[in-house]
Amino acid sequence: MVIMLEVLWLITDYLKSKTINAEPFVIIGIISAIRKILIVGAHPLESAT
């Protein structure tokens, strides 16, 4: 829930000022989400075999 609020705050702040002022917490969350997506996409579905 906290991550969603941070992302929402980042988006509203961006829409107001047109600059991204991301805190380290948000940056780490974005990197973690991208990493998770890449890991899931790299592994083939084992249930399909």
Domain extent, residue 9, equals 2-42
Between vectors from CA 48 to CA 43 and to CA 49, what angle results, nearest 5°?
A: 95
The number of distinct structural domains making up the chain is 1
In-domain check, residue 49: no
In-domain check, residue 48: no
Q: What is the pLDDT of residue 29?
A: 78
Task: List alpha helices for the chain, DSSP H.
Answer: 2-17, 24-42
| Three-state secondary structure call for residue 43 | coil
Q: What is the pLDDT of residue 27?
A: 77
Of 6, 46, 47, 2, nearest to 26 by C-alpha is 6
Instruction: Quick: pLDDT tens for 17-44.
Output: 887 776 777 778 788 888 888 888 777 6
Predicted TM-score of the model (pTM): 0.47
